[in-house]
Amino acid sequence: MADVTTDFATDKSSGTTELDALVIGAGFAGLYQLLCLRDRLGLKVKSLEAGSGVGGTWYWNRYPGARCDSESHAYWYTFSPEMMREWEWSERYPGQAEIMRYLNFAADRFDLKKDIQFDTRVTAAHYDQATNRWHVRTEAGETFVVKFLITAVGCLSTANVPNFPGLDSFKGDWYHTGEWPHEGVDFTGKRVGMIGTGSTGIQAAPVIAETAAHLTVFQRTANYSVPARNVPLTPEFQQYIKDNPTEIREATHSTLNGQPFRIEERMALETPPEEREAIYEKAWERGGLQFRASFKDMMASKAANDTAAEFIKGKIREIVKDPKTAALLSDIDHPYAAKRPPIDSGYFETFNRPNVSLVDVKAAPIERISPAGVCTKDAEYPLDIIVFATGFDAMTGPMLRMDIRGRDGVALKDAWEAGPRNYLGLQVAGFPNLFTITGPGSPSVLCNMPVAIEQHAEWIADCIAYMRKQGLERIEARPEAMDQWVAEVNEIASKTLLPMAKHSWYLGANIPGKPKVFMPYAGGMVRYREICTEVVERGYEGFSLT
Ligand code: NAP
């Protein structure tokens, strides 16, 4: 095992900064964690951010059509009712640019940017047991020595570009949606190929098709989607938001997924077919993720789920005029919402345009990229631009691309060789004073993100405040508590249909060679919040505090 302390000790090129705490990232999570630690606890703390501005996932994902799938009045910070009154959302779902404006507004309102170091990518973080400090190194060679290290690196921030042979030889331009150029991409008159039909591809395709000469969508796994039905917010609804910040916070805090709507109590299988269809029809017309909340048994019973799946497949066949294309788009191999369910603005309708075609790369997989375009087993598709909407090395990727080493120099990538293991999604045994926000083992991606983020950032801040008050220096998850939590995360997932989507990034199955472990906690945000609170009430049960 490498002598990690020596690594840092030999680095005399740049200065070393000593702090109480360091936050990695300045997206939704990093900004709020910085605020909690600096303004509420009075710590000497900084955030390091790879981007040149705040925003995290929204800073990088500037692809055409990028928009949040949670409704705007639920997709923001709720810790400050005053700030909720000061900000005004313009649309039912906030677009990428509006979210960036919002996060800049929040950062400026609390004067956070002065404590964020931008254009700074963290490459390594090593724990030194003798001094109980984390030594954190950046790409530029700077070193930070801190007692508490909090990763707010996001779940979907490590782009996955499939390793197709020949990509270097491609004569046109190619882009990954998660690393989109700030100046945008002009598709006018171009032959565009887009690989991937997850939430991103489904948002991007209709917008790309508007200007491209031709758009070829390469689909491996067909996907469900429900119309978003985005609209400008009415002045009445904007006023309702301003008048009810506390109610909105309470609503998002009392639901399974941190959304402002409840899952209905009724059962799909106990509802007469005609009534059930009418319920689905109404949910389809209303649009959005709420479709998933139509029946209580939808994510627990395959037969119940089939009723929703068949309804959506029927809609696809109704919308898409070419029967062959409709058949390909509706040939979906997993239960509805077992993969993160997309919502769209005209996705299926896009295939009725004369300048859009669909290629089935399940039947004839992409074999390589040639200088001219994409080559499948059957044909070559000449292209000017390739868009990779191919997703992310989710949840563990952003953590493991840093060289994190805990007690005795043990690398996180070794501790997680068989899949992520932690306690409450907050701490890994053997990595004292290191906290992760919305990583694996927590509701994170199964929850409306800002709700999950606020709970984590507040829990971590409260924990550090408690330690300071008690004169405690070190907190670390106990191995047996971690084992129990990992078992609980697995058990809860196994009671749902979620693990049935064999290629899902929830399982890590989208990345070749990645261990297949269901990563997020599927027990719901309300239960998770209770567990975290109970752990504290029992004196930080499951953690060693010294
Ligand atoms: P994704 O859901 O992982 O989808 C990636 C797509 O690329 C899939 O269709 C996948 O096919 C395809 N793909 C990957 N490798 C391929 C290969 N070698 N050959 C052919 N096809 C390949 O990624 P995403 O769409 O970027 O979405 C990721 C997550 O980001 C979402 O689930 C969501 O949580 C979040 N997101 C949120 C929003 C929002 O709130 N507005 C928008 C976009 C994304 P297979 O299915 O066959 O693997």
Residue 397 CA, ligand 1 centroid: distance in Å:
15
**Residue 241 zone, left/alpha/beta (φ > 0; ψ -120 to 50; rest):** alpha
Render pLDDT for 358-368 as a digit per residue (tens, 0 to 9): 999 999 999 99
Please tell me the residue having the least CA distance from ligand 1 atom 41: 68
502 and 426 in one domain?
A: yes
- Measured distance CA(526)–CA(404) in Å, rounded: 31
Tokens of 287: 């649009």
Q: What is the CATH number of the domain that holds 501?
A: 3.50.50.60
Please tell me the residue having the least CA distance from ligand 1 atom 15: 390
Render pLDDT for 140-175 as a digit per residue (tens, 0 to 9): 999 999 999 999 999 999 999 999 999 999 999 999
Last residue of a domain, one of 336, 360, 384: 336
- Measured distance CA(191)–CA(469) in Å, rounded: 62
Q: How many domains does the chain have?
A: 2
- pLDDT category at 478 given cuts 50, 70, 90 is very high
Ligand 1 pocket: which of 57, 160, 167, 200 to mutate (most atoms within 8 A of CB): 200
Beta carbons of 333 and 309 less than 8 angstroms apart = no
407 and 301 in one domain?
A: no
Beta carbons of 206 and 226 less than 8 angstroms apart = no
Q: Is residue 453 part of a domain?
A: yes
408 and 311 in one domain?
A: no
Q: Is residue 353 part of a domain?
A: no
Residue 340 CA, ligand 1 centroid: distance in Å:
9
Mean pLDDT score, 123-127: 98
492 and 415 in one domain?
A: yes
Last residue of a domain, one of 316, 336, 356: 336
- Measured distance CA(287)–CA(282) in Å, rounded: 8
Tell me what pLDDT residue 6 has.
Answer: 37
Tokens of 43: 């710590």
448 and 311 in one domain?
A: no
Render pLDDT for 314-348 as a digit per residue (tens, 0 to 9): 999 999 999 999 999 999 999 999 999 999 999 99
Alpha helix (H) ranges present in 70-173? 81-86, 96-109
Render pLDDT for 271-314 as a digit per residue (tens, 0 to 9): 999 999 999 999 999 999 999 999 999 999 999 999 999 999 99
Beta carbons of 184 and 97 less than 8 angstroms apart = no
DSSP 215: E
Q: Is the pLDDT of residue 353 over 50?
A: yes
Tell me what pLDDT residue 14 has.
Answer: 61
536 and 449 in one domain?
A: yes
Q: What is the DSSP string of 40-102?
A: IT---EEEE-SSSSS-THHHH---TT-B-SS-GGGSS--S-HHHHHH----BSS-BHHHHHHH
Q: Is residue 474 part of a domain?
A: yes
Ligand 1 pocket: which of 100, 180, 220 to mutate (most atoms within 8 A of CB): 220
Tokens of 264: 């209905």
- Measured distance CA(540)–CA(524) in Å, rounded: 21
In 3D space, the residue among 316, 282, 279 whose CA is nearest the CA of residue 298 turns out to be: 279
398 and 328 in one domain?
A: no
Residue 295 CA, ligand 1 centroid: distance in Å:
26
Last residue of a domain, one of 336, 361, 376: 336
Q: Is residue 309 part of a domain?
A: yes
Q: Is residue 495 part of a domain?
A: yes
400 and 329 in one domain?
A: no
Which amino acids bring their CB within 6 angstroms of ligand 1?
67-69, 156, 162, 195-201, 203, 218, 220-221, 340, 361, 366, 389-392, 445, 503, 505, 510
Q: Is residue 180 part of a domain?
A: no
9 and 154 in one domain?
A: yes
- Measured distance CA(21)–CA(134) in Å, rounded: 9
Tell me what pLDDT residue 4 has.
Answer: 39
Tell me what pLDDT residue 10 has.
Answer: 44
Q: Exposed, middle or buried: residue 1 (CB in 10 Å: 0-12, 13-18, 19+)?
A: exposed
Q: Is the pLDDT of residue 9 over 60?
A: no
409 and 332 in one domain?
A: no
144 and 31 in one domain?
A: yes
Q: Is residue 379 part of a domain?
A: no
In 3D space, the residue among 417, 420, 464 whose CA is nearest the CA of residue 445 turns out to be: 420
Structural domain of residue 438, as residue ranges?
2-54+112-158+394-545
Cβ density class 405-425: b for 16+ within 10 Å, e for less: bbeebbbbeebbeebbbbbbb
412 and 326 in one domain?
A: no
Tell me what pLDDT residue 502 has.
Answer: 86
Render pLDDT for 431-473 as a digit per residue (tens, 0 to 9): 999 999 999 999 999 999 999 999 999 999 999 999 999 999 9
Q: Is residue 465 part of a domain?
A: yes
